[in-house]
Amino acid sequence: MEPALREHAGAVRELASRLLDAMLSDAGVRSAGGDVVCSPTGLWLALAVPAVGADGDTAEELADVVGLAWPEAAPAVDAVARELAAIEALAVATGVWSAAPLRAEFRASLAEVEFGSPVEADALDRWVARATDGLIERMPVRISEATRLLVVGALALRARWRDGFDPARTRDRPFRAADGAREPVPMMHREVPAADVWTIDGRDGEVTVVELPCAGERPARVRFALGPPQAPPASVITAGWAPRETGKPYEGAAVEVAVPRFELRTRLDVVPRLRELGVAAPLGDAADFRWASDEPVRIDAMVQESLLRVTEEGVEAAAVSAVQLTPVSWTPKPRPVCFDRPFACVVTDPTGYVPLFAGYQATVPREAAAPTSR
């Protein structure tokens, strides 16, 4: 592991661990039956960039979740981005788009970050599609007239296995879902050396971890973690990213592994999760990002969309993390509604249920006569 990644790996894991229980309770995750995918590194990078421009309580609260603040935040972001880009088959891009004036020092401190303006939805969608090699096509947050600052981090991986699965060995086997349902799914099979298998002892029982390296000189490694049947998802996921040296080596010659072909896609709303961690100042009118811009802004939205796809050939994964900042105490402009084309007019009783009169103006209106006096 490179120096910056090694230094900040603990902060990335800690942030993900603290957010995990909250993310697993997300409405979208529940509606998907518990399926979830996220990018802990993407979340960390997207929050670390605003931390570069934060001061006061805002800086302290962001430092609590990403593990750093000014002045070490900017060089850490740049170093981590450079080292991530050196991983085989992994593309990394970080951008800041601003409709608000940015401080020159903020721009200069982030050499690995792309800066642009103004904030335009179509251009941002094209940037996301290009940064993720088409795996994610659109910006996960909705850009509005209130958007003054947008921080976006993208990671995309298209990697082949070092030792692939033989498609001829893929066959249907039953998969038992968390809700007890059982259905046959295409299951890939191959042998894995004992050196790539270990177990992690957790409070909910022993978790078996199988690591499958990707091809290349500095490849990504994919870990599959299997816990006891009733183990909560968070304990199994954290065992999968636990440092390998904390595990117990597998004793045996080899392991016959069966893994389903699968695809996961999740869109996570992160702001409510941050509030549950006690983050308040960056999200309210007391937000202080003075070192990024003289214009007072606050974090209004943070959304991450992630994709993970595993097949016999390899793994594809992508994540886009977007942090949207809007003016403090922003009041939206009134939405214009102009009845300058055919329209209806209905007069009801006080309950709103009984139509007393109804009309439809299809032609050019004739000017109404003055009301007659009573």
Count of structural domains within the chain: 2
The closest alpha carbon to 200, from 219, 168, 226, belongs to 226
Asked, as a colleague might, if the bond just before 40 is cis with ω within 30 of 0, I would say no
Distance CA 167, CA 187 (A): 10
Query: Does residue 242 form part of some domain?
Result: yes
Same domain membership, residue 150 and residue 82: yes
Count the alpha carbons within 13 Å of 205 in the hemisphere toward its beta carbon: 11
128 band by pLDDT with thresholds 50, 70 and 90: very high
Q: Which two tokens stand for residue 223?
A: 């870990």
Same domain membership, residue 292 and residue 147: yes
Same domain membership, residue 155 and residue 21: yes
Same domain membership, residue 130 and residue 12: yes
For residues 165-188, average pLDDT? 91
Backbone angle region of 3, left / alpha / beta, with phi > 0 → left and psi within -120 to 50 → alpha = alpha
Query: Does residue 350 form part of some domain?
Result: no
- Check if the beta carbon of residue 319 is closer than 8 Å to that of residue 39: yes
Same domain membership, residue 228 and residue 172: yes
3-state class (DSSP) for residue 31: helix
User: How confident is the model at residue 346, as a pLDDT?
Assistant: 72
Same domain membership, residue 145 and residue 50: yes
* Domain boundary pick from 260, 280, 297: 260
Query: Does residue 340 form part of some domain?
Result: no
Same domain membership, residue 114 and residue 28: yes
Query: Does residue 367 form part of some domain?
Result: no
Please list the alpha-helical segments (H only) found in the chain. 3-24, 27-31, 40-52, 56-66, 73-85, 104-109, 121-131, 233-241, 271-276
Query: Does residue 240 form part of some domain?
Result: yes
Query: Does residue 128 form part of some domain?
Result: yes
Same domain membership, residue 175 and residue 136: no
Whether the full predicted model's pTM is greater than 0.95, yes or no, is no
355 band by pLDDT with thresholds 50, 70 and 90: low
Q: Identity (one letter) of the amino acid at 84? A: L
Query: Does residue 334 form part of some domain?
Result: no
User: How confident is the model at residue 51, as a pLDDT?
Assistant: 95
215-235 pLDDT, tens digit each: 998 899 999 999 888 888 888
User: How confident is the model at residue 323, as a pLDDT?
Assistant: 97
For residues 362-367, average pLDDT? 74
The residue segments making up the domain with residue 97 are 3-160+262-327
Same domain membership, residue 17 and residue 111: yes
Same domain membership, residue 266 and residue 256: no
Same domain membership, residue 122 and residue 141: yes
Distance CA 231, CA 235 (A): 7
Distance CA 303, CA 299 (A): 11
Query: Does residue 368 form part of some domain?
Result: no
- Check if the beta carbon of residue 272 is closer than 8 Å to that of residue 283: no
Q: Identity (one letter) of the amino acid at 208? A: T
* Domain boundary pick from 260, 277, 312: 260
- List the CATH number of the domain containing 231: 2.30.39.10
- List the CATH number of the domain containing 76: 3.30.497.10
Task: Report the mean per-residue pLDDT for the chain.
Answer: 87
58-74 pLDDT, tens digit each: 999 999 999 988 778 89
* Domain boundary pick from 241, 260, 279: 260
261-311 pLDDT, tens digit each: 999 999 999 999 999 999 999 999 989 999 999 999 999 999 999 999 999
Same domain membership, residue 211 and residue 280: no
